[in-house]
Amino acid sequence: MDRRHLISTGAAMGLGAVAGCATETRAGTAKTAFDVPQPTLPVAGSAELFPVRRIYCIGRNYAAHAREMGSDPNREPPFFFQKPSDAVQFVAPGSTGEHPYPPLTKNYHYEIELVAALHRGGRNVAPEQALELVYGYAIGLDMTRRDLQRAMGDEKKPWEIGKSFDRSAPIGPIHRVAQVGHFTQGSITLKVNGQLKQNADLKQMIWSVAEQISKLSQAFELKPGDIIFSGTPENVGPVVPGDVMQGEIAGLPVLSVRVV
Ligand code: MN
């Protein structure tokens, strides 16, 4: 009886092991029906690439920009939206990236932003620990089809079509915290065709990067590869084909993008 039990257990284990192996083997050798590239960003001073998992963006995070968008900047709770991860359009420092004017819009806006890139995740992260999740920083543009965003907002529909479209996130390389530290203050500017349009200081953010991570982690489980656009200062405005945008954050190389 014991022996039969052992044998049957062994057989069951063996079968389980075989079945498990077979499953693993199938999973291990199975190929996807077609290839889909993992969006990545270069890491400055490294041969490694940063794999982009999700793009989170905070809305209205500078008081003067909140006012120009028609809302009360009196520290309303932060709100977030996402762009698809393949919306990143990498632009190498020293070059001018060609950025196609997207379809459907007649009012295409720039928003220059500091981007935090995470190498650790978490849920309900305390603000005091939040910066431990940050791998590095980049400069990015949260490009916006403002007319579509506003029209959808007016109709109380999701504004996704205004924000989350192809190549809506031109961005420079990730600079590791070990090289550049954390960004809690410093100049953030955007010029269009050499003319200063946006000009503010990162310390004017309503919610700091640490606070954004903490708040986001209450709504979503953050994971390595997530990047967070930390909001734009006031004086957003339109660009048209031919315009060259030059974004700059003190401590990071210039981001130069031509709309084509
Ligand atoms: Mn934005």
End-to-end CA gap in the chain: 80
Answer yes or no: is pLDDT of 19 > 60: no
Q: How far is the CA of 247 from the centre of ligand 1 (A)?
A: 14
Q: How far is the CA of 232 from the centre of ligand 1 (A)?
A: 5
Mean of pLDDT values over 61-84: 87
* Residue 202 near residue 188, CB atoms below 8 Å: yes
Answer yes or no: is pLDDT of 185 > 60: yes
Cα–Cα distance measured from residue 35 to residue 37, given in angstroms and rounded to the nearest whole number: 6
Answer yes or no: is pLDDT of 23 > 50: no
Mean of pLDDT values over 148-175: 97
Mean of pLDDT values over 152-156: 95
The encoded tokens of residue 147 equal 């007319």
Question: What's the pTM?
Answer: 0.88
Q: How far is the CA of 3 from the centre of ligand 1 (A)?
A: 69
How sure is the predictor about 26, in pLDDT bands with cuts at 50, 70 and 90?
A: low
- pLDDT tens column, 212-234: 999 999 999 999 999 999 999 99
The encoded tokens of residue 136 equal 């590095």
Cα–Cα distance measured from residue 64 to residue 47, given in angstroms and rounded to the nearest whole number: 39
Q: How far is the CA of 87 from the centre of ligand 1 (A)?
A: 14
Q: How far is the CA of 59 from the centre of ligand 1 (A)?
A: 6
Measuring CA to CA, which residue among 222, 187, 217 is closest to residue 202? 187
Answer yes or no: is pLDDT of 174 > 90: yes
Mean of pLDDT values over 105-133: 98
Residue-level pLDDT at 27: 56
Give CA 77 to chain center in angstroms. 20
- pLDDT tens column, 31-58: 999 999 999 999 999 999 999 999 999 9
How sure is the predictor about 66, in pLDDT bands with cuts at 50, 70 and 90?
A: confident
Q: How far is the CA of 8 from the centre of ligand 1 (A)?
A: 62
Answer yes or no: is pLDDT of 1 > 60: no
How sure is the predictor about 202, in pLDDT bands with cuts at 50, 70 and 90?
A: very high
Mean of pLDDT values over 119-145: 98
Q: What angle do CA 44, 48, 50 make, to 5 degrees?
A: 80
Q: How far is the CA of 49 from the centre of ligand 1 (A)?
A: 24
Mean of pLDDT values over 71-100: 92
pLDDT > 90: percent of the chain: 83
**What domains can be seen in the chain, in order of their start residue?**
1-35 (no CATH), 37-259 (3.90.850.10)
* Residue 140 near residue 171, CB atoms below 8 Å: yes
Q: How many CA atoms lie within 13 A of 97 on its CB side?
A: 25
Q: How far is the CA of 46 from the centre of ligand 1 (A)?
A: 28
Cα–Cα distance measured from residue 181 to residue 226, given in angstroms and rounded to the nearest whole number: 19
How sure is the predictor about 76, in pLDDT bands with cuts at 50, 70 and 90?
A: confident
The mean predicted confidence, pLDDT, of the chain is 90
